[in-house]
Chains A and B, each alone.
Chain A
Amino acid sequence: MNEIGLEHLLIVSTCLFFIGIYGFLTRRNMITMLMSVELILNSVNINFIAFNKYLFPDKLDGVFFTVFIITIAAAEAAVAIAIIINLYRHYKSIDVNDAEKMRF
């Protein structure tokens, strides 16, 4: 039982997923929310790697997917931060609850 199995990894990734969700739903700071999304993506990454290693080791689908997720996450973060900076210029704040001018 000393060996770390698939279940352990899945538990970790699931926890990470929900932590990410929780963070996204509760943190007011936009950057922190973005980081929470990264957590979600990382939990996905863990999933892919774990599945690849434990269940389907003969192909590298999962690993490749992970590589792409990491890359895209970076791109996404770049654009998101750019947008947030632009938003900050208007609102002088990056509290997500301040940006609620459009509603109903």
Chain B
Amino acid sequence: MGIEFFILMKSEWALMLIIFILLIIKVNGTYQDNAKLLLFTNILLALNFMLGFVSNQSGMLFNSMFHTNSLIAFEKNILNFATLIISLQAYTWLKNHKHMLEYYMLLLTTLLGMFFMISSGNFLMFYLGLELSAIPLAALVNFDLDKLKSSEAAMKMVLLSAFASGIMLFGISMIYGTTGSLNFAELPALITGSHLQILTLIFIFTGFAFKLSVVPFHLWTADVYEGAPVSITAYLSVVSKAAIVFVLISTLSPLFAGLTTVWYNILFISIILTIIVGNLFAIRQQNIKRFLAFSSIAQVGFILLAISAGTALSNTAAIFFLIVYTLSNLGVFGVIALVSDETGKENIDDYKGFYKTNPALGWVIALSLFSLAGIPPTAGFFGKMFLITAGASKGSYILVGIAALNMVVSLYYYLKIVKTVFIDPNEEPIVPIKTNMYLKLSLGVCMIGIVITGFTSGLYDYIYLLFRL
């Protein structure tokens, strides 16, 4: 205990502090000016993000229930960053929303849950973090209370996530039964590869797969993405996924080191299914959020491709890609959020002729989509390349070949959007939209990030360094 207690958990403390400040403001009820509150909140989040850079130490707390190191701190800060960007982009939506503060409280609570999940040293902590992130998220999905789709999405999410966590818990109980421990530090030595343990691995994997939208556990994704408010969709597709990937990298892979073959084979099947099915569904989507849901499913397949190799380099690639993915996806979502809030249009066809009326936003979409498709000179190219290189290091060229060919398919649908925005004529295009400072800032950060992240190898080298510490 002592000062260490605060320093090691600084991210969590900071979040809790923000939540409490907001709660007090809410309870007090005197401040009604959303614009000012939003500015305040965003400043708080920005400070929170900056805090993530200072005094990152490694250590354990609560009898190894909670552990942290500079890599974990970095991962958390990625989430902080993504949340900040999402918050900036939500400005248009929230500036007149009467439950603005609740939104932030719920959002930050889920983020807190993810932090605990990432830092967990024990299944119990992990489970708590997972549920802490899942339950408020369901409420957030339903945040557009008066929209039918929003509540349907929330229902699907809450029921299925309860179901998924039930199955995962069953797996966890079996692992407890076979080893007598829930501690991540002790478990690897105890996992020997008995049938029951394979079963637990599969059950636990399904829990992760559900959260990550791995095919065939992905079916909720598109519906929820479509129904949820844009800001939440962005959050789901970026932050929630990134958190699970971090846990997968730092926890699950080492945990089941004794079952490498099964682990790899499970991933092998999942990767192929995820990439192919994600792409096949993405091709035929009309709603842009739904489209992004499937495209993000395919992206997850690529991330898993790197994770399947299981080396420091491949994990570096995965995390590097997640950063790029965050920047690119949020670039698109920023524009979509704006358009959705200003005009209520969410269909791909609505974007016809968008470039004529909103050239700058058109380029943002194009650049972000190119990054998602892995087209140079965007960072997405580097991200994808490293993922595939990582996948190839395992020597399975079938997997790499499928992934590479699916990049072509994915290019098709990304280009289709680009075509819609740039080429297709439209009698009634979306009117020119004025962007606010927050959005400009967020998109600016994303675009600069997309352009320079790839060229400067610094970020990649830094992540790699963190893995080798």
Contact = CB atoms under 8 A, between A and B. Distances in A.
The answer to whether any beta carbons of A and B sit under 8 Å apart in the complex is yes
Interface of A: 17, 20, 24, 30, 33-34, 37, 40-41, 43-44, 47-48, 50-52, 55-56, 59, 61-62, 64-65, 68-69, 72, 75-76, 79-80, 82-84, 86-87, 89-91, 96, 99, 101-104
B444 interface: no
Contacts of A90: 148, 151-152
Contacts of B226: 102
Interface of B: 123-124, 127-128, 131, 135-136, 138-139, 142, 145, 148-149, 151-156, 158-159, 162-163, 166-167, 169-170, 172-174, 176-177, 180-182, 222-223, 226-227, 284, 290
Is chain A's binding surface mostly helix, strand, loop or mixed? helix
Given A55-B180, A79-B136, A101-B149, 11 more contacts: A30-B155, A41-B169, A48-B176, A51-B177, A51-B180, A55-B177, A62-B173, A68-B127, A72-B127, A80-B138, A96-B159
B180 A56 contact: yes
Is chain B's binding surface mostly helix, strand, loop or mixed? helix
Contact of A83 (B124, B151, B180): B151
Contacts of B290: 102
A59 B152 CA distance: 43
Contacts of A65: 123-124, 127, 172-173, 176, 182
Contact of B166 (A20, A62, A87): A20
A79 B158 contact: yes
A24 B135 contact: no
Contacts of A99: 152, 155-156
Given A55-B180, A61-B124, A83 B167 contact: no
Nearest to A86: B151
Nearest to B147: A90
Nearest to A43: B170
Which of A34, A55, A89, A90 is most buried by chain B, counting CB atoms within 10 A of its CB? A90
Contacts of B138: 79-80, 83
B166 A44 contact: yes
Contacts of B166: 20, 37, 40-41, 44
A82 B139 contact: yes
Contacts of B174: 47
23 contacts: A37-B162, A41-B169, A44-B172, A44-B173, A55-B180, A56-B180, A61-B124, A65-B127, A72-B127, A72-B131, A72-B135, A75-B131, A79-B139, A83-B139, A83-B155, A83-B158, A86-B151, A86-B154, A90-B148, A90-B151, A99-B156, A102-B290, A104-B284
Contacts of A79: 135-136, 138-139, 158
Contacts of B167: 40
A12 to B, nearest CB: 13
B408 to A, nearest CB: 24
B227 A102 contact: yes
Given A69-B169, A80-B158, A86-B145, A62 B176 contact: yes
Given A68-B128, A76-B131, A79-B139, A44 B169 contact: yes
Given A86-B151, A101-B149, A24 B163 contact: yes
